[in-house]
C-alpha cells in the first residue's frame, strides 16, 4: 500500500508569522520573574506521539530554557493515576482518557497537544483471506482494541456507525497492540483497531490490509493525545509550564518535517529504520486549541462515553 506523506512546513511558517514566538504558550514565558521550579517529571508513552518532546529533551532544548526534564515511561492506562498520585508532574495520555478523567471529577489542566491523526495512522485492520472485507459485512463484528472505553472504541464506533453498522452490536475485545495479529490469526476477532507502527508491521509481516481508515468522517484530523497536569500543579507553576509549552511548541514546529521524526524514532523506540521510513504519520499541533479538542469531548458525549458535556476550554491555561 502506498503511503501518503504531507509536509506542513508552509502552513507552520504562516502560523508562526502570525503567532510570533508564543507557540503553545498562553503566559509570558519571557518574564523576569523566576520559574516556580526548574525540574519537570513527564510521563511518556507512544514513541510516535511523543517524538518531538523526546527529540527536544535529547537535544537539550529544555535545559537551555532553564528546565531539567526527566522522561518517565508510563503505561497508557496508568498515566492519569500516576499524575494524581504526584509520581509525575505532567502526563502524556490520550485525549479520550484525559477527558474521561475530567468528566469524572479529576481536576486537570492541559499543557499541550501531542498528536493529531492523519490518513491511515489509525485503522481497522484485517488479515489476508478474511471474510470481513467490508465494514457492513458483519452485523456484530468483534473488534480488538488496546483499551476498553478509550480512543479505539470511540473511533471504531464512529467509523462503523457511519458505514451503517449498529454500534450497540459491536463486540470489543481488549488486546495489547503487539498481540492483535495473533488474535486475528486465531479468529478471536474479525478486525483490529491499530495505530502506527503496528499497521505497517502487520502489512509487512502478514500481508494485512486496511478495512477502514480511522481518520475520516467525524474523526478526520482527530486529536489523539495531549500533555496534562493536575489543576493545582498548573496553577502553582504557571511560569514554568509556559516555558514547557514554548519549547514543546518549537519542537512540534520542527516535527512538521517528517524526516525529523523518522530519523529519530530508532534512537528511542523499537521501530527500525525501514519501518520508520514507511509508517504513515499524523501531525504535531503547534498550539494548544481548546476548540479543536472540544471535538473529542463532544464525540465522547454524543456516544455516551461521558455523561454531561465537558467544557474543554476551562481546562486550557489562562493567559
| Grid cell listed for 211 | 478495512
CA distance 65 to 196: 32
Domain presence at residue 193: yes
Looking at residue 2, its pLDDT comes to 37
243: containing domain: 39-118+221-307
The total domain count for the chain is 2
Domain presence at residue 170: yes
Q: Does 20 score more than 50 pLDDT?
A: no
Beta strands at 191-195 and 122-126: parallel, antiparallel or unpaired: antiparallel
Domain C-terminal end among 169, 197, 219? 219
Over range 112-119, report the average pLDDT.
Answer: 98
Q: Are 251 and 114 in contact (CB under 8 A)?
A: no
Over range 302-310, report the average pLDDT.
Answer: 95
Looking at residue 319, its pLDDT comes to 62
Reported confidence tier of residue 9, pLDDT bands at 50, 70, 90: very low
The verdict on 173 and 233 lying in the same domain is no
Reported confidence tier of residue 69, pLDDT bands at 50, 70, 90: very high
Q: Any idea which of 15-29, 237-251, 290-304 has the lowest mean pLDDT? A: 15-29
The verdict on 77 and 96 lying in the same domain is yes
Domain C-terminal end among 173, 197, 219? 219
Q: Are 246 and 22 in contact (CB under 8 A)?
A: yes
Reported confidence tier of residue 303, pLDDT bands at 50, 70, 90: very high
Q: Does 10 score more than 50 pLDDT?
A: no
CA distance 225 to 70: 19
| Grid cell listed for 79 | 498515566
The phi and psi torsions of 249 (rounded to 5 degrees) equal -60, -40
Q: List pLDDT tens digits, range 202-245.
A: 999 999 999 999 999 999 999 999 999 999 999 999 999 999 99
Looking at residue 19, its pLDDT comes to 38
Name beta bridge partners: 60. Answer: none
Domain presence at residue 22: no
Domain presence at residue 142: yes
- The 3 state secondary structure assigned to the chain is CCCCCCCCHHHHHHHHHHHCCCCCCCCCCCCCCCCCCCEEEEEECCCCCCHHHHHHHHCCHHHHCCCEEEEEECCHHHHHHHHHCCCCCEEEEEHHHHHHHHHCCCCEEEEEEEEECCCCCEEEEECCCCCCCCCCCCCCCEEEECCCCCHHHHHHHHHHHHHCCCHHHCEEEECCHHHHHHHHHCCCCCEEEEECCHHHHHHHHHCCEEEEECCCHHHCCCEEEEEEEEHHHHHHCHHHHHHHHHHHHHHHHHCCCHHHHHHHHHHHCCCCHHHHHHCCCCECCCCCCHHHHHHHHHHHHHHCCCCCCCCHHHHCCCC
Q: Does 108 score more than 50 pLDDT?
A: yes
The verdict on 245 and 279 lying in the same domain is yes
CA distance 282 to 260: 13
Domain presence at residue 24: no
The verdict on 84 and 228 lying in the same domain is yes
For 23, left (φ over 0), alpha (ψ -120 to 50), or beta? beta
The verdict on 241 and 104 lying in the same domain is yes
The verdict on 196 and 113 lying in the same domain is no
Residue 57 sits in a domain whose CATH number is 3.40.190.10
Looking at residue 31, its pLDDT comes to 54
Looking at residue 1, its pLDDT comes to 39
Q: List pLDDT tens digits, range 130-189.
A: 999 999 999 999 999 999 989 999 999 999 999 999 999 999 999 999 999 999 999 999
Over range 87-98, report the average pLDDT.
Answer: 98
Looking at residue 318, its pLDDT comes to 86
Domain presence at residue 313: no
277: how many CB neighbours lie within 10 A of its CB?
Answer: 15
Q: Are 43 and 79 in contact (CB under 8 A)?
A: yes
Q: Does 52 score more than 60 pLDDT?
A: yes
The verdict on 286 and 251 lying in the same domain is yes
Strand order in the sheet with 191-195: 171-174, 142-145, 191-195, 122-126, 209-213
The verdict on 132 and 193 lying in the same domain is yes
CA distances to 56, 150, 287 from 38, in Å: 16, 33, 23
Domain presence at residue 179: yes
Over range 84-100, report the average pLDDT.
Answer: 98
Please tell me which residue, 42 or 3, carries the higher pLDDT value: 42
The verdict on 111 and 131 lying in the same domain is no
Q: Are 183 and 175 in contact (CB under 8 A)?
A: yes
Residue in the structure block whose three cell numbers are 514543546: 248
Domain presence at residue 68: yes
Amino acid at each position: 500500500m502506498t503511503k501518503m506523506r504531507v509536509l506542513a512546513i508552509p502552513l507552520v511558517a504562516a502560523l508562526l508569522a502570525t503567532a510570533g514566538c508564543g507557540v503553545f504558550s498562553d503566559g509570558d514565558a519571557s518574564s523576569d520573574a523566576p520559574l516556580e521550579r526548574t525540574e519537570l517529571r513527564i510521563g511518556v508513552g507512544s514513541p510516535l506521539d511523543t517524538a518531538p518532546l523526546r527529540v527536544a529533551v535529547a537535544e537539550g532544548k529544555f535545559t537551555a530554557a532553564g528546565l531539567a526534564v526527566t522522561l518517565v515511561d508510563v503505561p497508557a492506562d496508568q498515566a492519569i493515576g500516576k499524575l494524581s498520585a504526584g509520581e509525575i508532574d505532567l502526563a502524556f495520555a490520550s485525549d479520550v482518557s484525559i477527558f474521561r478523567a475530567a468528566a469524572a471529577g479529576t481536576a486537570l489542566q492541559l499543557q499541550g497537544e501531542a498528536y493529531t491523526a492523519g490518513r491511515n495512522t489509525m485503522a481497522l485492520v484485517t488479515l489476508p483471506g478474511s471474510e470481513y472485507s467490508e465494514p457492513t459485512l458483519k452485523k456484530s463484528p468483534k473488534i480488538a482494541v488496546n483499551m476498553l472505553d478509550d480512543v479505539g472504541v470511540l473511533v471504531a464506533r464512529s467509523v462503523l456507525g457511519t458505514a451503517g453498522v449498529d454500534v450497540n452490536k459491536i463486540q470489543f475485545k481488549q488486546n495489547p497492540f503487539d498481540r492483535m495479529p495473533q488474535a486475528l490469526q486465531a479468529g478471536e476477532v474479525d478486525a483490529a483497531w491499530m495505530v502506527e507502527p503496528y499497521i505497517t508491521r502487520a502489512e509487512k509481516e502478514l500481508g494485512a490490509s486496511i478495512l477502514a481508515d480511522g481518520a475520516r468522517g467525524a474523526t478526520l484530523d482527530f486529536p489523539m493525545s495531549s500533555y496534562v497536569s493536575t489543576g493545582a500543579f498548573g496553577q502553582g507553576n504557571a511560569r514554568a509550564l509556559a516555558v514547557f509549552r514554548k519549547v514543546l511548541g518549537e519542537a512540534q514546529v520542527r516535527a512538521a518535517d517528517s524526516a525529523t521524526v523518522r530519523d529519530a524514532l530508532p534512537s528511542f523506540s523499537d521501530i527500525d529504520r525501514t519501518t520508520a521510513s514507511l509508517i504513515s504519520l499524523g501531525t504535531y499541533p503547534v498550539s494548544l486549541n481548546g476548540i479543536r479538542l472540544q471535538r473529542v469531548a463532544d464525540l465522547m458525549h454524543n456516544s455516551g462515553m461521558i455523561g454531561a458535556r465537558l467544557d474543554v476550554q476551562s481546562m486550557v491555561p489562562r493567559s
